Chain A
Amino acid sequence: MKPSAKMAKLVPLLAVFFYLVCVSEAVFEDQVGKFDWRRQYVGKVLFASFDSPSQSSKKLFVATDKNIFASLNSRTGDLFWRHVDKMGPEGAVDTLLVNAQDALMVIGDGRLLRSWDTNVGGLNWEVVLDTGSFQAACFVGIQDTVKHVAVLKKTAISLHYLSNGHQKWVENLPDSDTVKYQAVYSGGGEEVFVLGMVPHSHLTITVYSLEDGEIIRQVTGPQLSNDYIFTFITFALLAIILLVSCSFSTFIFFSFPLPFSEDGSTIAPLRDFQPLYVHAFLKKDDSVGYRVLVQTEDHALTFIQLLARSRVVWTREEALADVVTMEMVDLPLTGTQAELEGEFGKKADGLLPMVMKRLSSQVILLQAWMAHLWKLFYEARKPRSQIKNEVTIETLSRDEFNLQKMMVMVTASGKLFGIDSKSGTILWKHYLENVQPNAAFKLIVQRTTAHFPHPPQCTLLIKDKDTGLATLHVFNPIFGRKSQISLPALPRPILQSLLLPVIDQDYAKCLLLVDDQYKVTAFPSTKNVMQQLQEMASSIFFYLVDSEQGTLSGFRLRKDLSSELIWEVVLPTEVQKIVAVKGKRPSEHVHSQGRVMGDRSVLYKYLNPNLLAVVTESTDTHPERAFVGMFLVDGVTGRIIHEAVQRKARGPIHFVHSENWVVYEYWNTKSRRNEFSVLELFEGTELYNSTVFSSLDRPHLPQVLQQSYIFPSPITTMEATLTEKGITSRHLLVGLPSGAILSLPKMFLDPRRPEVVNEHSREENLIPYAPEMPIRTEWFINYNQTISRLKGIYTAPSGLESTCLVVAYGLDIYQTRVYPSKQFDVLKDDYDYVLISSVLFALFFATMISKRLAEVKLLNRAWR
C-alpha cells in the first residue's frame, strides 16, 4: 500500500521531469548563427560626428530619432556599440558634441547632460540640469584645450567642467522674456558669446566671462525684418554668423568680432534640404579629401568618399529600425522545376504534343542534373573558402524543405524591403513616395508562388489615418517590382479590408474593400470575380468595429456589392472600451479535432473559424474596480459565445487567438503582478455536425474552461508558433522587455491542468496545476541575441512539419527556426550514415555467404 502510494506521487513528478528534459531546446554552441541571424539598426540619424579629423579615423558617432547613441565603423558601416535610451521625449537627444575622447549629449529637452567615452562607449558621468527648455550647447576651450562645456537654456546659461560634469557657474540671461536666445559660442578665448534675437527687431550679443560668469559687455546688432535661424561658423579665426531665414531662401553673413559688418546677402533656394555631415581631412599629399554622410528621405544612411575616385563606401537601411508589418512568401521553384510544373497547368492539346513536351522537359531536367553534378565536382576541387554562397535575386529558388523564404517587410517610412530569410541579405527595396508619416499599412498576399507561370502578387493597403483614404500598391514580392495592374479607384475612406478565398482565372484571391458607405469594392474586379461574388454574395459576411462608439456590427454582402447591417453588439463606452479585436489566422491548420481523455473518450474542440476575440478595458481605472473584459463573438452571427471579466486587472493586454484557445496577459492591480489566463473552448464529447462547420447552424454554446497563472515578467508581445499541418504541438513565443524571446509550451497553459492528480490526468499527460509559470533560460530561443524594443513576432510554417520560422522585429531584426516538438522528421546532424550502411552491407554479404554455404552443405548431404 505504502510503496504504491509513494510511486503514485513519484510518477507524475518523474513524468514532468522527463517532459522538461525533453522540451529543453536550447541551442548548442556550434549551432549559434547557423539557422539564425540578427541585424541591428539605429534609426534616422539626427546628429553625426567623426572622432578625429584625419583620414585614419574609423569611428563615426551618431545620435538618432530613436534616442540611440551609437558608434559606427566608417569603413564597413557596422556597429561598434550602441546605447538605447528611453523611448519618447524623455530620452530624446537634443544635441551631440564630440571632442577627442569625450562625447557630450544633452537629453530630454535639457534634462540631462551626459558624457561618454568614445573608445569603449562607457558612460563617464551624467548630471541633471536645471529645468528650462534647451537651446544650444558648445565646448568652451582656451587655445585648443577644451575644459568646459556651456549649455544655453531659454532663460539661463551654465558652464560645466568637462572632466566631471560639475557646474562651474550658472547665470540668468538678461531680458529673457523678450529676447530669444538661440546660440552659444566660444572663440577660444576667455569669453563666451551668447547670441539672441528680439523677434522682428534686432540681434543681441551678450559676452560672459569664462572665469566667473560675469557679463563683460552687451552689444545690439543691426535691424532685421524677418525671423531667422542662425548659427556660428568659424573660419580663419573669424566668427561668422550665418543667418538663414525661415523660408530657407536668404543667407546673410555677418563677420565677427564686432562691430558687425554685413558682408553680403545671397538668395539661394534650398528646397530638398538634406541633413549632411561633411568631413574634410588632409590627405597624405596635403590635398583635401572629403567624406560625406548622407541621410536621405527613405532613412537610408549613405557614406560617400570623395577622393580621386568618388564611391559609396556603405549604405545602412535605417528604415528597417521601424518595421510595421511583414509577410513571408515562398520562393519560386527553379526554372527547370517550374517548366515541369507548367506542363500540368496548361490545357491538354493532343496526345503526341503532350508526350513530346514531357520528353523535352525531362531532357531539360537531365541537363540540369548533369550541370549540377559538374558544378559539385568542380567546386569540390577548389578550396572551401573560395566557394561563394552569395544570394542574389537570380539564384533565388526554393530549397528542399521550403525553409528559405522571402521576407517582405513594410517600414513606417514607406520603404518596402525584400529580405532573404536564410542570410538576412536585402534583395530588393522599393521606396513609396508620398506616404504620410502616420499611415497605417496592411500587407496582403493575393497570390502565392504556387501558381506558375503567374507571378506571386502582394498588395499593400496604405491608409491615411486622418482622412481614412486608402491607396493600393501591388507588387511582385520576389523581385519587388510594381505590377502593371489597373487599380480600383478608392474615392471614399476605407473601413475594412478582407481577403476572400474566391479566386479569379489568374489565381489571385479577391480583396474586398469596404468604404464608409458600406459599399464594397473588389480587387481584382474582373468579370469572372464579379460573377462569383454575385453567386456567393449571400454567404459573404463581414464585421466592423468602432471602438469609439463601442459597436461591433455585422454586414452581409448584397448582389449589387452594397451591404446590409444584420447584427449589432454595443458595449457601452461609459463602462468599457474596446482595445483590440483579433480573429484567427486563416492559414492555420488544426490537425486533431479533439483531445483524447484519460477514460478514452474524446473531448471535441470548438473550432469556429469565424470566432473573434474582443478585449475591452474598463474606463474606471481605480485598482479595485478596474477590469478587463474578454468577449468571444461569432463574426458571422454576432452571437456572444463567451463573456468573461477579469476583475482587478488592467492592460496593456497581449493576447493570442488560435485553434480553440485564447491566451491573454494582463496586469493584476491588486496583487501587482503580471498574469496569464487561458480560455479553451470545447464542444463536448459529441460533435454537433462533424462534416462541416457553419456559424449559422451551431445552436449549442461550447463549454469554456479557463485557468490563470502568475507570470514573473512583463511582456512586450506574444505570438504562437505555426506549422504546415498543425500536428506539432504549439508553443507561445513571448517577447520580454529584456529583448529575449521565450518559447513557452502551450502545455503549461492548459485549463485542464488538474489541481489534484488522478489516474485520468496522468493518463493524459497533464501537468499538475502550479500557479506560477516558470521562465527557464534554456527556453529563450535567441540565447544572447537580444532584440531591442521588440515590437512584433511573425511566425510562418516551413515545408517541414516540425519546423516553424520565426522573425522578431523591433529596433533589431532577428530570424530563427523553432522546433516545438523537436525535429521528429529530420535526421540529426551527427547521424551515423557510415555505421548504418556498413551494417546493412555486412548483413547483406553475410546472408549471401551463408546462403552459399547452406547450398554447399545441402549438396554435400545429398551426395552422402
Chain B
Amino acid sequence: MASGGPSFLLLSMVPTILLLCIDFACCNTGRRTSDGLDTDFTGFSVPLEHSFEVDDVSQFRVRGALQLRGGRETSVSLSQNQLSEEDRSTLKEVAAVDGLYRIRVPRVSLSADRQSDRPMDGFLTAFVRACSLVESHLSDVITLHTDVSGFLIGVSIVTIPGACRGTEVEDEVDLEAFNTTLNVIAPTNAPQPETALFIERMDMENEKRGKPQEQKSFFAKYWMYIVPLVLFLMMSGAQDQSGGGAGGGGANGGR
C-alpha cells in the first residue's frame, strides 16, 4: 500500500519505462493503470440505483449515493433520497402484481489505490420482491461483497421481515424514507489445519501422564501393597510369638 502511492506518481511522469515497476506494485491484481490520480484519497461515491416497474422492464433511477472510503478499513455510508409520491404509488402497484424491486451498483474497487483505475464496465444487480419491501416499510439490508483485492463482486438486498403476507400498508408515511442497514463483507480466511495447537496439547498430555510416573519411587508406587504386607507380617510375627506359645499350649493340651 505504501509503495503504491509513489509509484503512481512516477507513472504519470514516465509511463512507459516504469510499467514493470507498476506491475510489481499492484501485482495482487495484475491490472495495469492507465491514467493518473486526480481523485482524492479520502473517499468517493458511486450511485445506488433502483428500478421497479409494473411491466417488469427495468429502468434504473438513482436511489442514493454510496460514500466509499477505502483504506485499511473500508467504510461505506449511504445517503439516499426520499421516495416521491409517484414512486410510492408505483411501488405499491408493483407490489400488488408481485413484481420485483431491483437495485444495482457499478463495479468498482473499494481499496483506495485502485479506485482510480480504468472504470470497469457493467453493474452488479440484485432484487427483492416488491411486496416484501412494502410490507417491511422500506427497511432493507444491503450487503456489498468484495473479493480479496477489494473489488465489488456482488450486492444483495433483503428486507426484514422478508415474507409477503399480504398485509396492507395504509400509511403513506411508512413508504417515504428507506431504513437501510448497509454492510460490507470481505472474504474470510479459511482456517489452516491446527497442527501447532494439537502438538502443544499432545505434549501437555504426555507431560501430565509421564511426569508423576517417573518421579514416583518404588515405595511410593506400591505403598498400598507394601504397608498391608508389612503390617500383616508384623501382626503375624507378633502373633507367632504370643500365639505360638498359645498354639503350643493348645497342642500340648491336645495330647
Most A CB atoms within 10 A — which of B102, B162, B186?
A: B162
Given A570-B122, A696-B132, A755-B201: A769 and B194 interface contact (C-beta under 8 Å): yes
A645 with B102, Cβ < 8 A, contacts A570-B107, A619-B30 known: no
B148 touches A699 (CB 8 A): no
Is B125 a contact partner of A565 (Cβ separation < 8 A)? yes
Q: How far is the CB of B188 from chain A (nearest CB, A)?
A: 5
- A568 interface residue per 8 A CB criterion: yes
- B161 contacts A by Cβ under 8 Å: yes
Interface residue A646 (Cβ < 8 Å from any Cβ of B): yes
* A698 to B156 alpha-carbon distance, docked (Å): 12
Asked if A564 and B124 make an inter-chain contact with CB atoms under 8 angstroms apart, the answer reads: no
Contact B189 A647 (CB under 8 A): yes
CB distance from A352 to the nearest CB of B (A): 49
Find out whether the CB atom of B195 lies under 8 angstroms from the CB atom of A771: yes
B126 in the interface, Cβ–Cβ < 8 Å? yes
B154 close to A (CB within 8 Å): yes
| Nearest chain A residue, comparing its CB with the CB of B198 | A771
Q: Which residue of B lies closest to A688 (CB)?
A: B162
Asked whether, in the complex, the Cβ of A566 is within 8 Å of the Cβ of B188, the reply is no
Nearest chain B CB to A745's CB is how many angstroms away?
Answer: 18
| B-side contacts of A710, CB under 8 Å | 193, 195
A640 and B191 contacting across the interface, CB-CB below 8 Å: no
The answer to whether A675 and B125 have CB atoms under 8 Å apart is: no
Known: A619-B30, A645-B148. A699 touches B188 (CB 8 A): no
B residues in contact with A675, CB < 8 Å: 192-193
Does B48 touch A at the CB level, under 8 Å? no
Query: Is the Cβ of B156 less than 8 Å from the Cβ of A644?
Result: no
Given A565-B125, A567-B125, A639–B201 Cβ distance below 8 Å? no
Quick check: is B56 within 8 A (CB to CB) of the other chain?
yes
Q: How far is the CA of A642 from the CA of B188 in the complex (A)?
A: 9
Establish whether residues B191 and A707, one from each chain, have CB atoms under 8 Å apart when the complex forms.
Answer: yes
A741 to chain B, nearest CB (A): 24
- B contact residues around A644 at 8 Å (CB): 187-190
Known contacts A566-B125, A566-B127, A643-B188, A771 near B194 by CB under 8 Å: yes
Asked if A569 contacts B124 (CB within 8 A), the reply is: yes
Chain A residues 528 to 573 lying within 8 A of chain B, measured CB to CB, are 538, 556, 558, 564-572
| CB < 8 Å neighbour of A706 from B147, B158, B162, B191 | B191
B221 at the interface (CB under 8 A from A): no
Which residues of B in the span 26-45 have a Cβ within 8 Å of any Cβ on A? 27-31
| Alpha-carbon separation in the docked complex, A566 to B99 (Å) | 11
* Most chain B CB within a 10 A radius of its CB, from A633, A643, A755: A643
- Cα A301 to Cα B150 in complex, Å, equals 57
Q: Does A708 contact B (CB under 8 A)?
A: yes
Q: Do residues B147 and A629 form an inter-chain contact, with CB atoms below 8 A?
A: yes
Contact indicator A569/B190 (Cβ below 8 Å): no
A271 vs chain B, min Cβ distance (A): 52
- Chain B residues with CB under 8 Å of A564's CB are 56, 58
Q: Is B178 an interface residue (CB 8 A)?
A: no
Q: Given A643-B145, A644-B187, A706-B190, verify A569-B56 contact (CB < 8 Å).
A: no
Q: Is A697 an interface residue (CB 8 A)?
A: yes
A619-636 contact mask (Cβ, 8 Å, vs B): 1 or 0:
110000101011001000
A567–B30 touching, CB < 8 Å: no
CB within 8 Å for A568 and B162 given contacts A643-B187, A755-B197 = no
Q: Does A637 contact B (CB under 8 A)?
A: yes
A619 CB contacts on chain B under 8 angstroms: 30
- The reply to whether B156 and A637 contact each other, CB–CB distance below 8 Å, is yes
Contact A572 B124 (CB under 8 A): no
Give the distance in Å from the alpha carbon of A506 to the alpha carbon of B129 in the complex.
Answer: 34
Contact yes or no, B188 A645, CB < 8 A: yes
The reply to whether A575 and B148 form a contact with Cβ atoms under 8 Å apart is yes
Residues of B within 8 A of A708 (CB): 190-194
Chain A residues with Cβ below 8 Å from B141 are 699
Q: Select one of B29, B161, B191, B205 contacting A699, CB under 8 A.
A: B161
User: Known: A576-B147, A627-B148. Is A698-B189 also a contact (CB below 8 A)?
Assistant: no
Closest to A573 in B: B30
State which of A569, A629, A771 has its C-beta within 8 Å of the C-beta of B193.
A771
Expressed in whole angstroms, the Cα–Cα distance for A640 and B145 within the complex equals: 7
In the assembled complex, the Cα of A565 lies from the Cα of B31 at a distance in Å of 29
Q: How far is the CA of A689 from the CA of B189 in the complex (A)?
A: 30
Complex contact A640–B185 (CB within 8 A): yes
Can you name the residue of chain A whose Cβ is closest to the Cβ of B127? A566
Which residues between 815 and 833 of chain A lie within 8 Å of chain B, taking CB atoms? none
Contact: B156 with A629, CB < 8 Å?
no
Which of A558, A643, A699 makes the CB contact (< 8 A) with B158? A699
Instruction: Indicate if B98 sits at the interface (CB-CB under 8 A).
Output: yes
Using CB atoms, name the residue of chain B closest to A647: B189
Please tell me if the beta carbons of B100 and A566 are within 8 angstroms of each other in the complex.
yes
Category for how many chain A residues contact B: 35 or more
Q: How far is the CA of A620 from the CA of B24 in the complex (A)?
A: 12
Residues A568 and B125 in contact, CB atoms below 8 Å apart = yes
Residues of A within 8 A of B145 (CB): 569, 640, 643
Query: Are A698 and B162 in contact (CB-based, < 8 A)?
Result: yes
Cβ-based interface call for A230 (8 A):
no
A671-711 near B? 1/0 per residue, CB < 8 Å: 00001010000000000010000001111000000111110
Chain A residue contacts of B153, Cβ below 8 A: 569-572, 640
| Distance in Å: Cβ of B139 to nearest Cβ of chain A | 10
With both chains docked as a complex, state the minimum distance between the C-beta of B121 and any C-beta of chain A, in angstroms: 10
Interface presence of A574 (CB below 8 A) = yes
* A367 CA to B63 CA, complexed, in Å: 77
User: Which residues of B are found within 8 Å of A638, using beta-carbon distances?
Assistant: 125-127, 154, 156
Q: Report Cα–Cα, A706/B188, bound state, in Å.
A: 11
Q: Tell whether A639 pairs with B193 under 8 Å between CB atoms, given A575-B151, A696-B132.
A: no
* In the complex, A756 has a CB within 8 A of chain B: yes
When chains A and B are docked, how far (Å) is the Cα of A756 from the Cα of B125? 44
Which positions 1-25 of chain A face chain B at CB distance < 8 Å?
9
**Closest partner residue, chain B, to A572 (CB atom):** B151
Q: Is A487 an interface residue (CB 8 A)?
A: no
CA–CA, A497 and B25, complex, Å: 44
Assembly CA distance A646 to B159 (angstroms): 31
A820 to chain B, nearest CB (A): 25
Shortest distance between the CB of A473 and any CB in chain B (Å):
37
Shortest distance in angstroms between B145's beta carbon and chain A's nearest beta carbon? Answer: 5
Residues of A within 8 A of B188 (CB): 642-645
Please indicate the chain A residues that have their CB under 8 angstroms from the CB of B191 in the complex: 677, 706-708
In the assembled complex, how far is the CB of residue B58 from the closest CB belonging to chain A, in whole angstroms?
8
Interface string of B160-189 (1 = CB under 8 A from A): 111110000000000000000000011111
Judge if A770 is at the interface, Cβ distance under 8 Å. Answer: yes
Residue of chain A at shortest CB distance from B140:
A699
Within 8 A of B (CB), among A571-628: 571-572, 574-576, 619-620, 625, 627
Are B154 and A574 in contact, CB atoms less than 8 angstroms apart? no
Partner of B31, one of A574, A625, A668, A769: A574
Specify which chain B residues have a CB less than 8 angstroms from the CB of A696 in the assembled complex.
128-129, 132, 162
A572-B149 Cα distance, complex, nearest whole Å: 10
The reply to whether A637 and B127 form a contact with Cβ atoms under 8 Å apart is yes
Q: Let me know if A620 and B159 touch, CB within 8 A.
A: no
**A771: B residues at CB distance < 8 A:** 193-195, 198
Q: Which residues of B contact A (CB under 8 A)?
A: 27-31, 56, 58, 98, 100, 102, 107, 120, 122-129, 132, 141, 143, 145, 147-149, 151, 153-154, 156, 158-164, 185-195, 197-198, 201, 205
29 A–B pairs (Cβ distance < 8 Å), ordered by A: A538-B98, A558-B56, A564-B56, A569-B124, A569-B145, A570-B124, A572-B147, A572-B151, A574-B30, A575-B148, A630-B190, A637-B128, A639-B126, A639-B154, A640-B145, A643-B185, A643-B188, A644-B188, A644-B190, A675-B192, A699-B141, A699-B162, A708-B191, A708-B192, A708-B193, A710-B195, A755-B194, A769-B198, A770-B198
Known contacts A575-B151, A638-B125, A706-B190; 12 additional CB pairs below 8 A are A558-B56, A564-B58, A568-B123, A570-B124, A572-B29, A572-B151, A640-B156, A645-B187, A696-B132, A699-B158, A708-B194, A755-B194
The 5 closest A-B pairs by CB, nearest first: A639-B156, A569-B154, A697-B162, A771-B193, A699-B158
